[in-house]
Structure 1
Amino acid sequence: MTAEQVVDPVFLLTDREYDDLIRQWNPGILDEEEEPYIVAYLLSPTVEKRKFCERLQAQLNGMKIVYIIDNAMEVRDWGRHVLNFENVRVDLDVEEWLCYLRKADYVVTDSFHGTCFSIIFHKTFLSIVNRQTDRFQFFENLPGIAERILQKTDVAMTDTMFEEIHYDAVDEKLEQERDRSQKWLDNALAKEGRK
């Protein structure tokens, strides 16, 4: 049997569907004004990543960093200690986590799904590859995204890191992948139903 790679399930929904989920959790939250902020969603916090975020913050005129901590206990305490950011959010519901990403002006993440949602929500972002490097290869197929995926944090800040991403081409490619994946899933489920 040949394996078929389909898109990660988070891409099967659109940004509008995620917005609906956020609004069900807290109506009006997406319309509230908030000061600009950088979301740092880092599953493997290190001193190097903290320094990288601080350099990015300096380039963005001191924009506030909101550090979203993964709910895993072992990451929580270590992340607070190592990153030592002032604005920390912990124990978030899924909808609240989505909302922070949705409303962010910039995202820094080392999470595959943090990267996925940055793309879904059309964020300006940088993603630092984590130990699951093979998962990040998916982003190489999306136009204009590969240069947002960093292998390490000791890179020079370039103008490209601050430019808006042209998401029309990205959305077109994702729509093709979504359609292909949905057809494969529908076909697989239909075969399973005939058994």
Structure 2
Amino acid sequence: MKIGVITWFHYENYGTILQAAALQEYLKSIKTEPALIEIPFYQIDSRQIRVNFSERVKSHISNKIVSKRFGKYFAAKSKKFHDAIYAKYNVMPIEDTFSKTCNMFDLLICGSDQIWSPYWYNDFYFANFPDITVPKISYAPSIGVKEIPPYLQGTYYSTLKHFNKLSVREESARKEIERITSLSCQTVLDPVFLLDRNKWLEVIENVQDLKPDYIFCYMLGDNENHWKAIHEFASKYNMKLVIIPMKSVSYLEKGEHCYDAGPYEFLNLIANARYVLTDSFHASAFSIILQKQFYVFERTAKTDAHSQNSRIYNLLEISGLNDRIQEFNHKRIQETEDIDYQKVNLRMGPFIQKSKKYLKDAIKDVSVRK
């Protein structure tokens, strides 16, 4: 069966690339022929992005400073992101039209990451065009927020009713979709959990082995209090920080910086770390898969209407690791006992099998109907 996967895989975001790679690897392992479908460039609807003027100015200035000082690393980093997908997996370019390309497959899967977020709703990520005739299912897309805005609820219903099977990544998203559409939807795990620890260690190929005498730090937010907590933690254990910088503050923090790290170096840094400190969903997910001690910060306050913390809460609830969360804006890490991964694996196992079963059954159902 030829399967076209619709997801993000162009952004230089480690989780974005690795979730796309994971789904390709798993689909190949169950004897299908997957390909990632190129998505035409589109303009994000500015009505859906609420960033105040001062924040935009601050971000613009910070980006210019970072580009001037560290821009020499960016080309090498970009090539590593590009090669992580294009050198390893089948990518289908658009042939004539997007719909015509989609119709070349036996099945479409709208895949993981926040492709269904209401803040950048786009028909391409739902394959929502009347001339697309092949069946489609979803596997673990995220809406990223607690609620779909009222003005988009009708759009979501009219779009999602055309799917053969629906699944999402967070329990809160499942409840929201079922609430506004009355359609049946299932919660499944992010594609990175479809591959086990040994498979991911195989994926980290030709990457330098590192001594586990460091704390790996990967922060998508720019919260100064979180950085204070991180440095205090490193000082307490007399360990160096190894940082993949993402925002302007992280480029200037004290530690060893990996300015041009690609997706597989990102995995390697997690795999060899003594501790992982992050505010990232995927860094947390890989910490669990690779059985590392970690703490994860809330990137935004619980009261923030645009908070994306729900996916982290959901992951920690499933894995029984709620005590790893660090409250937003706290200046000190609230430490707990080391993670017992034997217990975590016992909890995660049934969820992983349930996720695999959903995907296999959905593919089989389409195959039988054809």
TM range (shorter): 0.7 to 0.9
The answer to whether the Cα contact below 8 Å between 1:36 and 1:105 also exists between their aligned partners in 2 is yes
The answer to whether the Cα contact below 8 Å between 1:38 and 1:104 also exists between their aligned partners in 2 is yes
The answer to whether the Cα contact below 8 Å between 1:52 and 1:153 also exists between their aligned partners in 2 is no
The answer to whether the Cα contact below 8 Å between 1:15 and 1:121 also exists between their aligned partners in 2 is yes
Q: Secondary structure at the match of 2:187?
A: coil
1:175 maps to 2:345? no
Identity in percent: 28
Structure 1 gap ranges (5+):
none
| AA at the equivalent of 1:10 | V
1:104 maps to 2:254? no
Distance 1:147 1:69 in 2: 26
1:5 maps to 2:181? no
Q: Secondary structure at the match of 1:97?
A: helix
1:146 maps to 2:322? yes
- The structural deviation recorded for 1:165 is 0.6
How is 1:24-43 mapped onto 2 (pairs within 5 angstroms)? 24-26=205-207, 29-30=208-209, 34=211, 36-43=213-220
Structure 2 gap ranges (5+):
1-182, 300-306
| AA at the equivalent of 1:95 | Y
| AA at the equivalent of 1:170 | V
Moved more, 104-113 or 129-138: 129-138
Aligned to 1:15: 197
- The structural deviation recorded for 1:85 is 2.1
Aligned to 1:65: 241
User: Across the two proteins, how many residue pairs are aligned to each other?
Assistant: 179
The 1:40–1:159 alpha-carbon spacing in structure 2 relative to 1, beyond 3 Å, is: closer
| AA at the equivalent of 2:358 | W
The answer to whether the Cα contact below 8 Å between 2:228 and 2:332 also exists between their aligned partners in 1 is no
Which one has a larger percent helix, Structure 1 or Structure 2? 1
Distance 2:364 2:197 in 1: 27
- The structural deviation recorded for 1:112 is 0.3
* Greater relative contact order (Cα < 8 A, sep 6+): 1
The answer to whether the Cα contact below 8 Å between 1:67 and 1:89 also exists between their aligned partners in 2 is yes
The TM-score, its normalising length taken from structure 1, stands at 0.84
1:123 maps to 2:292? yes
- The structural deviation recorded for 1:141 is 2.5
Aligned to 1:89: 258
Q: Secondary structure at the match of 2:354?
A: helix
- The structural deviation recorded for 1:25 is 2.8
Structure number, greater radius of gyration: 2
For residue 311 of structure 2, the aligned residue among 131, 135, 139 is: 135
- The structural deviation recorded for 1:133 is 1.4
The TM-score, its normalising length taken from structure 2, stands at 0.46
1:191 maps to 2:362? no
Distance 2:219 2:334 in 1: 21
- The structural deviation recorded for 1:189 is 1.2
The answer to whether the Cα contact below 8 Å between 2:279 and 2:297 also exists between their aligned partners in 1 is yes
The answer to whether the Cα contact below 8 Å between 1:25 and 1:95 also exists between their aligned partners in 2 is no
1:79 maps to 2:260? no
Aligned to 2:146: none
Q: Secondary structure at the match of 1:2?
A: coil
